[in-house]
Chain A
Amino acid sequence: MARADQPAAAPGRGTDHSRAERMRRRRRIRTLEKLAAPVLGLVLLGIWELCVRVFDVSTFILPPPSAILLRLVSDWQLFLGQGVTTAIEISVGFAMAVLAGVIIALCIFYSRIVEVAVYPLLIALQTVPKVALAPLVVLYFGYGWGPKIFLAFLISFFAILVPTVVGLKELNPGFANLAKSMGASERQVFFKIRLPAALPNIFGGLKVGLTLSVIGAVIGEYVAAERGLGYLQLQANANFDTTLNFASVFAIALLGLAFYAILRLIEDLAMGKMR
Chain B
Amino acid sequence: MTSELTRDQAGPTGVSVRLGAVVKEFETETGELIRALDGLSLDVAAGEFIAIVGPSGCGKSTLLNILAGLDRASTGLVEIGGAPARGPHPEAGVVFQSDYLLPWRSVLDNVLLPIEIKGLDRKAHVPAAEQLLADVGLAGFGAKKPSELSGGMRQRAGICRAIIQKPGLLLMDEPFGALDALTREQMIIDLQALWLRLGNTVIFITHGIDEAVFLADRVIVLSPRPGRIDLDLKVDMARPRQWAEAHADPEFQRCIGEVRRCFERRGVLHRAQG
Contact = CB atoms under 8 A, between A and B. Distances in A.
A196 B109 CA distance: 14
A189 to B, nearest CB: 9
Interface of A is mostly: helix
Interface residues of A, number: 18
B104 A196 contact: yes
Contacts of A184: 117
Given A180-B70, A180-B88, A181-B69, A175 B117 contact: no
B114 interface: yes
Nearest to A193: B102
A271 B105 CA distance: 11
Contacts of A192: 113, 116-117
A177 interface: yes
B114 A182 contact: yes
B116 A177 contact: no
Sorting the interface of chain B by its residue count into under 10, 10 to 19, 20 to 34 or 35 or more gives: 20 to 34
B64 to A, nearest CB: 10
Interface in B57-88: 65, 68-70, 87-88
A181 B70 contact: yes
Contacts of A59: none
Interface of B is mostly: loop
B87 to A, nearest CB: 8
Given A177-B70, A178-B94, A275 B105 contact: yes
B217 to A, nearest CB: 24
A171 B13 CA distance: 36
B123 interface: no
Given A175-B100, A196-B102, A275-B104, A181 B113 contact: no
A12 interface: no
A11 interface: no
A178 B96 contact: yes
B174 to A, nearest CB: 13
B113 A174 contact: no
A179 interface: yes
A66 interface: no
Interface in B99-135: 100, 102, 104-105, 113-114, 116-118
A58 interface: no
A178 B100 contact: yes
Given A178-B100, A181-B68, A182-B117, 12 more contacts: A174-B96, A174-B100, A175-B102, A177-B70, A180-B88, A181-B70, A181-B92, A183-B88, A183-B90, A184-B117, A196-B104, A275-B105
Interface of A: 172, 174-175, 177-184, 188, 192-193, 196-197, 271, 275
